[in-house]
Structure 1
Amino acid sequence: MSSLSLGIKNIFSRASREQCITNLKKFHVAKMRRKGVQPSASAAVLVPLCSINDISSLLYTVRSANLKSHSGQISFPGGKTDNTETPMETALRETQEEIGLLPNKIDIWGCGPEIPGKDNRMGITPVIGLINDLSEDDLTLNINEVSEVFAVPLQELCNSKNQCYTQFANGIILPVFVADEYKIWGITAYITHMVLSCLLSEDVYRNNWMQSKIDMKYKK
Structure 2
Amino acid sequence: MTLNNSIEQLLISALAKKGGDSSDFDLNPDTKLAENRILKPAAVLVAFHEDGRLLLTKRSARLKHHPGQIAFPGGKVEQGETLEQAALREAHEEVGLPPDQVDILGLLPPHETVTSYTATPVVAMIRGDFDHRAEEGEVAEIFTVPFDHISNPSNFRIEGRRWQGRKRYYYVAPFGPYYIWGATARMLRGLAGRLCD
TM-score interval, smaller chain: 0.7 to 0.9
Q: Give the structure-2-normalised TM-score.
A: 0.83
User: What pairs up with 1:1-220 in 2 under 5 angstroms?
Assistant: 7-13=3-9, 16-23=10-17, 25-29=18-22, 32=26, 34=33, 36-51=35-50, 55-118=51-114, 121-133=116-128, 135=129, 137-158=130-151, 162-167=155-160, 169=163, 173-198=169-194, 200-202=195-197
Q: Root-mean-square deviation (CA), in Å? A: 2.6
Tell me the amino acid that sits aligned with residue 183 of structure 1: Y
Aligned residues: 188
Q: Is the 8 A contact 2:21 2:110 kept in 1?
A: no
Query: What is the Cα deviation at residue 29 of structure 1?
Result: 2.7
Gaps (5+ residues) in structure 2? none
Query: What is the Cα deviation at residue 165 of structure 1?
Result: 1.6
Determine which structure has the larger helix proportion and give its number.
Answer: 1
Separation of aligned partners in 1, 2:153 and 2:106: 28
Query: Structure 2 vs 1, CA of residues 105 and 19 (structure 1 numbering), >3 Å: closer, same or farther?
Result: same
SS in 2 for 1:166: strand
Query: Structure 2 vs 1, CA of residues 158 and 41 (structure 1 numbering), >3 Å: closer, same or farther?
Result: closer
Q: Give the structure-1-normalised TM-score.
A: 0.75
Gaps (5+ residues) in structure 1? 203-220
Query: What is the Cα deviation at residue 167 of structure 1?
Result: 2.7
Separation of aligned partners in 2, 1:18 and 1:8: 12
Separation of aligned partners in 2, 1:143 and 1:22: 37
Query: Structure 2 vs 1, CA of residues 8 and 90 (structure 1 numbering), >3 Å: closer, same or farther?
Result: same
Query: Structure 2 vs 1, CA of residues 73 and 80 (structure 1 numbering), >3 Å: closer, same or farther?
Result: same
Separation of aligned partners in 2, 1:40 and 1:201: 31
